[in-house]
Amino acid sequence: MTISTDTPAQLRKGHLRHGLGATMLSDRDLNVTDRFGLRNQGRHSGPPPPIGAKALPVPTSLLVNTEGRIVWMDQSMNYQHRSDPDTVRAALQTHFDKRDSQ
């Protein structure tokens, strides 16, 4: 699942462009981002409204287990970095394996 400040229309375009199977959620007003405490408190580096949003989330990947607890997290301290796909894959593998062995 992804969460961003995109509008649903922008998300639909991204969904098609990237061929994603994931649910993509729109968080224009950062209500969900604030529930997670992930609003960037540093300098806003995106376009202002109406093109962009008034603030942006810190790029973060989270893995949530079947009990609803965060079991893994990867956060970029610099927006030009992203979670390394291999690192995410390894975390998924580890936690899927853990779940399957229970």
Partner 1 sequence: MPDIHHLYLGIPALLIVGGSFALWIRAFQRVAIPKDRTTYVVTWIVGGSIGLGALMMSESGDLTRIPAWFAVSTSVILLLLVSISRQVPAENTIRVSDCMPTFTAIDEHGEPFNSLSLQGHLALIKFFRAHW
Minimum CB distance to partner 1, residue 31 (Å): 7
The 8-class DSSP code of residue 80 comes to T
* Of positions 19, 35, 93, 94, contacts partner 1 by CB under 8 A: 35
48 scored as a contact of partner 1 (CB under 8 A): no
Residues 10-29 that bind partner 1 (CB under 8 A): 10-15, 22-27
Instruction: Report the nearest approach of partner 1 to the CB of residue 62 (Å).
Output: 5
Alpha-carbon distance of 6 to 101, in angstroms, equals: 38
Asked if 41 interacts with partner 1 (CB under 8 A), we say yes
Alpha carbon 2 to chain centroid, angstroms: 5
In the complex, least distance from residue 33 CB atom to partner 1, rounded to whole angstroms: 7
Range 71-90, binding partner 1 (CB under 8 A): 71-73, 75-85, 88
Which contiguous run of DSSP H or E holds residue 87? helix 85-101
Question: Is residue 54 near partner 1 by the rule CB under 8 A?
Answer: no
Per the CB < 8 A criterion, the answer to whether 79 and 59 are in contact is: yes
Cβ atoms of 59 and 83 closer than 8 Å: yes
